[in-house]
Structure 1
Amino acid sequence: MISRHLFSGALAVLLASTGLALLPAHAAQTELRLGAAAADVGNLDPHFASSTSDRTQVAWIFGALVRFAPGSTDPATIEPDLAESWQASDDKLVWTFKLRHGVQWQHDYGEVTAEDVVFSLKKAADPKRSAFASDYTAFKSVEAVDPYTVKITLSSQVPSMLGLLTNYSGGFIICKKAYEERGDDFTRNPVGFGPFQFESMEPGVAVHYTAHQGYFRGKPKIEKITYRLLNAAAARDLAFTAGEIDVEAGTADQRWLQRVKAAPGVKIDIFDPSELAVLHLNRTQKPFDDIKVRQAVAHAVNAAEIAQFRGADFTRVAKSVIPSNNLGLNPDPGLLSYDVEKAKALLAEAGYPDGITIKMISSQMPSYATTDQILQAQLAKAGIKLDLQPVEHATWHQMIRKDLSPLVDYSAARFPVADIYLTQFYDSKSAMGQPAQVTNFSHCSVADKQIEAARTEVDPEKQIALWQEAQKLIVADVCGVPITETAQVWARTDKLDWGFELKGSMSLGPLLTEQTHFVD
């Protein structure tokens, strides 16, 4: 009788001699392919990443002192990341963070230390090296007490200290050595300590990532990520349907949602934060230096129609000039109602009885392009002709920051405390052309006093009252016309498991962690 071991060995030799081999057991997929609504990469320095696509990617690369629990945008879920513990003085002006030992940078740049944290937060607070510097004006000093201890001293209390230190915007920690070595190349060749590391880029085609083998929470289950740049919605849909990508950025359109939901083997993720779309009017440029013209635009915009077109599953009419999930929202700030005849009358009073033509630079990103085309049709009814000039999304970002468009349709979500949104979009220090410019495209200045006072107000009720007063003033001056709030929407194969319940992501796209994986 031939033994089982001898038989197995003989079979293996036979298969080898005939050019065949024993088939291995089926292994789960380890390469993740995503289709992004972007034509190219803008900036992967997290302190400058502002587009949805760039924000999505930097959240995979970088970490912070603390982080939102994966799948959440609720500040109550903020938990340790690089910092394993922290404490604050009784007056909340001095914060001390103890760092984890042994956290490694990607690409063999060594251990993350307090020196990197100090460098990163000082960079985040520098208007020349960060788009979010205004968030950190209360940071008096950031010091490395020892290699694993960081002390931050504030000049005044801030509305949400931990919020400024999360895995979001200026809170990301970057590798000091890599930044100094790579210089300008860091924007497209970054180094962080997150679960996935940047490998290479094909401009206008794809960005490639690999698992960070030394990630302190454990080796990621996904080994490779291909982030394809598919700006055209039709191209993403075709790639997804053909199985060329596993995940695609969705389109804020009800017809798209119903079509994709009906396909077999597909899951839809609709998650926070909802991005607030506001039509910003540059008050320093004609004809919008006349409040009657600004009021005419506000009366001509039918936000309900736009929300209905996009779809109730993920879109609602905006309530104010800040997102409705923000602490400090004024739910009734005095928004002007939709009234075409009133809009025409105001234009006539302003000296434009035959209407006006306005040049508007428009992003080619589908969600923006659709809204702008609807706005074009709506405003035309009131005699306001929009001369839309579409450009690629990254280029659009650059152009609107140079005041090249008197109208700017901009969608954004920020940390959900009113101070952040009010400061970035309506504080005069954040206006285009100012040293601390962020996203104040309207050059609004009417609520500076209230915004600044609220920032240091220690009484929570008084602080909220100041934020609500600021919103009334901004609405009354028509610095911007709130339109809709639209949640994030992505489609994925049902074989992909994020590793957590995706209810929210401050990066505006799916957060990928060491737990993300495919199921058989």
Structure 2
Amino acid sequence: MKTRIGVALASVLFASNALAAGTTLNVGMAGADAGKLDPHVATSTLDKGLLYWMFNGLVRIKPGEASPAFIEPDIAKSWTSSEDGLTWTFELRDDVECHGDYGKIDAEDVVYSLKRSANPDISAFAKDYTAFDSVEATGPLEVTIKLKNKIPSLLGLLVPYHGGNIVCKDAVEALGDDYQRTPIGTGPFMFAEYQPQQYVKLVANPEYFRGEPKIKEIFYRYIPSDSSRDLAFQSGEIDMIYGKQEQTWVERVKQVPGTKVVVMTPGEMSVIHLNMSMPPLDDIRVRKAIAYAIDRDTLVQFKGPDVTLAAISPVPEGHLGYTADVPQYPHSIEKAKELLTEAGFPDGVTIKAIHTVLPGMLSTMEAVQAELREAGINLEIQTVEHATFHEQIRKDMSQVVHYAAARFPVADVYLSQFFHSDATVGTPNAVANFSHCNAADKEIEAARVEGDPEKQLAYWAEAQKKIMEEVCAVPLVQSMQLWAWKDTLDLGTEVHGSLNLSPPVTEMAHFTE
């Protein structure tokens, strides 16, 4: 029985390096264990990156980029849309093989995948697909999607990210519940093995339609300790490392000989969601006191000015529809205390949060905890393993939820998932509305179907204003994605960003020596 990875990684796990020099990639991830590896269920940063290397979508964003401006064909080789934007037809490649013995992808698999993504009984991302009227196989290799109304970016829902991942119908049905631990995709790498709290092993897909990968196996290792992960990278035991989202980490790791450090977009935006259905957060004066007590500038300096941006709005800066013209609550301990006194808490107030042990997020929350304490707000933090965190906050168990998220860069996604009442946790269509906010439902809904781009932007701007007026949440910072790898590892493309929050390890990746 293999032992758990600690400060020194068990040498037996790396024996394959000697046997396959230059073809084994060891990745160090900041987490204790895998969550759910079904791509339509997985929500955590740890799992999204791993799945990125195993799955395809109808379309994809060019590897190394994160902007929808770089969308290109993937399983679909071409597509057309009707003049009114409500009917889209996709022509599929005929050479896309499912991993293992599950055959080629065809229109039936794509229809099954997208209907599964839209099914709230299965998918964590069903809310994204409510505009779908029908998805049909209109030929063996042709899929037609009809929409009830226009949406900001249909193609954005079809990239291999969240519900856009295409699964193999026969594999999902054959494996049943086991699919969550043995994912079958079509991507450059195939699932091979899972060792709890140690690693997931992937192997090259020899039938990959873009060509067999040069990397033959990947060990995706769970190393929650920052110091252990850094030590393993410095000693050469791992080749690629997920970084701590702090300036000091970048500066320190850059000093390691033969290292390439990359700051990737999109930034994960950290937001403090305030559950307005639970006292004392049902009082807007308490919510405003929290907003005034938090000093974003200090948080930016704490995390690092080169890798962090202050967050102003519920939508991240740089996303289509973002506006900075929202109510703001400049740091003022005096104002925070005044509001607490008005709300009946002259001696302060206690609020509670369930929180992940993930180091980058926890350090941010502890900094917020210290700031709130100055205003007499006692934030009690109960830490749990990352997968448990996701499970419990979706059961509406926390007064305060610190959520760090990167999403497709269009305002509708953030607004719909985090601030529309239909997405409220604990409801049938729950997504990630932890605050129980309903302040901007009208504007969010109007923007989705608005055909005039200027009017759509105006709706999104008004929605952001209303959310901040109600203080449904307090945006903190945007933290860029930090990764480092050996400079002998060539990913085959310049890496500027990744929607899936991990570097693009594709068939092009290889070691140069």
CA contact (8 A) 1:329 1:418 kept: yes
Letter in 1 for 2:89: T
Which residue does the alignment assign to 2:411?
418
User: Is structure 2 residue 137 aligned with structure 1 residue 160?
Assistant: no
User: Is structure 2 residue 277 aligned with structure 1 residue 284?
Assistant: yes
Secondary structure, in 3 states, of the residue corresponding to 2:100?
Answer: helix
Letter in 1 for 2:155: L
Instruction: Identify which of 339, 342, 346 aligns with 1:353.
Output: 346
Distance 1:507 1:352 in 2: 43
Distance 2:268 2:337 in 1: 30
Distance 2:241 2:371 in 1: 30
Distance 1:364 1:159 in 2: 35
Secondary structure, in 3 states, of the residue corresponding to 1:106?
Answer: coil
Q: How does 1:394-409 map to 2 (within 5 A)?
A: 394-409=387-402
Which residue does the alignment assign to 1:111?
104
Q: How does 1:293-442 map to 2 (within 5 A)?
A: 293-442=286-435
Which residue does the alignment assign to 1:130?
123
User: Is structure 2 residue 19 aligned with structure 1 residue 30?
Assistant: no
Which residue does the alignment assign to 1:13?
none
Distance 1:438 1:516 in 2: 35
Distance 1:64 1:508 in 2: 16
Larger mean Cα displacement after TM superposition, 230-239 or 462-471: 230-239
Distance 2:160 2:481 in 1: 18
Aligned residues: 495
Distance 1:63 1:428 in 2: 31
User: Could you tell me how far 1:324 is from its partner in structure 2?
Assistant: 0.9
Distance 1:515 1:181 in 2: 31
CA contact (8 A) 1:87 1:97 kept: yes
Which residue does the alignment assign to 1:17?
none
Instruction: Identify which of 37, 60, 67 aligns with 1:74.
Output: 67
Instruction: Identify which of 241, 251, 260 aligns with 2:234.
Output: 241
Q: Which has the larger radius of gyration?
A: 1
Q: How does 1:433-512 map to 2 (within 5 A)?
A: 433-512=426-505
User: Could you tell me how far 1:102 is from its partner in structure 2?
Assistant: 2.0
Distance 2:493 2:433 in 1: 36
User: Could you tell me how far 1:214 is from its partner in structure 2?
Assistant: 0.3
Secondary structure, in 3 states, of the residue corresponding to 1:61?
Answer: coil
Letter in 2 for 1:109: Y
Distance 1:141 1:64 in 2: 18
CA contact (8 A) 1:28 1:519 kept: no
Letter in 2 for 1:48: V
Which residue does the alignment assign to 1:139?
132
Secondary structure, in 3 states, of the residue corresponding to 1:173?
Answer: coil
Which residue does the alignment assign to 2:13?
none
Calculate percent identity across the aligned residue pairs. Answer: 51
Distance 2:512 2:20 in 1: 10
Distance 2:332 2:233 in 1: 42
Distance 2:485 2:306 in 1: 17
Distance 2:67 2:407 in 1: 12
Distance 1:373 1:465 in 2: 36
Distance 2:397 2:20 in 1: 53
Which residue does the alignment assign to 1:177?
170
Distance 2:21 2:236 in 1: 16
Secondary structure, in 3 states, of the residue corresponding to 1:190?
Answer: coil
User: Could you tell me how far 1:184 is from its partner in structure 2?
Assistant: 1.2
Secondary structure, in 3 states, of the residue corresponding to 2:345?
Answer: coil
User: Could you tell me how far 1:27 is from its partner in structure 2?
Assistant: 8.4
User: Could you tell me how far 1:357 is from its partner in structure 2?
Assistant: 1.4
CA contact (8 A) 1:28 1:518 kept: no
Secondary structure, in 3 states, of the residue corresponding to 2:497?
Answer: coil
Larger mean Cα displacement after TM superposition, 470-479 or 317-326: 317-326
* TM-score (ref. length: structure 1): 0.94
CA contact (8 A) 1:280 1:408 kept: yes
Q: How does 1:81-120 map to 2 (within 5 A)?
A: 81-120=74-113
Secondary structure, in 3 states, of the residue corresponding to 2:382?
Answer: strand
Q: Residues 143 and 71 from structure 1, CA distance in 2 versus in 1: closer, same or farther, beyond 3 angstroms?
A: same
Q: How does 1:174-253 map to 2 (within 5 A)?
A: 174-253=167-246
Distance 2:68 2:436 in 1: 30
Distance 2:111 2:195 in 1: 33
Please list every run of 5 or more consecutive structure 2 residues that lacks an aligned counterpart in the other structure. Answer: 1-18
Instruction: Identify which of 504, 507, 511 aligns with 1:514.
Output: 507
Distance 1:393 1:230 in 2: 13
Distance 1:49 1:127 in 2: 14
Secondary structure, in 3 states, of the residue corresponding to 1:442?
Answer: coil
Distance 1:235 1:405 in 2: 30
Distance 1:504 1:256 in 2: 19
CA contact (8 A) 1:260 1:266 kept: yes
Distance 1:372 1:418 in 2: 25
Which residue does the alignment assign to 2:41?
48
Larger mean Cα displacement after TM superposition, 417-426 or 44-53: 44-53
User: Could you tell me how far 1:434 is from its partner in structure 2?
Assistant: 1.2
Secondary structure, in 3 states, of the residue corresponding to 2:184?
Answer: coil
Distance 1:302 1:370 in 2: 15
Letter in 1 for 2:220: Y
Distance 2:428 2:52 in 1: 27
Deviant stretches of 4+, over 4 Å: none
Distance 1:263 1:62 in 2: 33
User: Could you tell me how far 1:319 is from its partner in structure 2?
Assistant: 2.3
CA contact (8 A) 1:94 1:153 kept: yes
Distance 1:438 1:27 in 2: 43
Please list every run of 5 or more consecutive structure 1 residues that lacks an aligned counterpart in the other structure. Answer: 1-25
Letter in 2 for 1:254: Q
User: Could you tell me how far 1:70 is from its partner in structure 2?
Assistant: 0.4
Which residue does the alignment assign to 2:12?
none
Distance 2:25 2:255 in 1: 23
Which residue does the alignment assign to 1:22?
none
Which residue does the alignment assign to 1:15?
none
Letter in 1 for 2:173: E
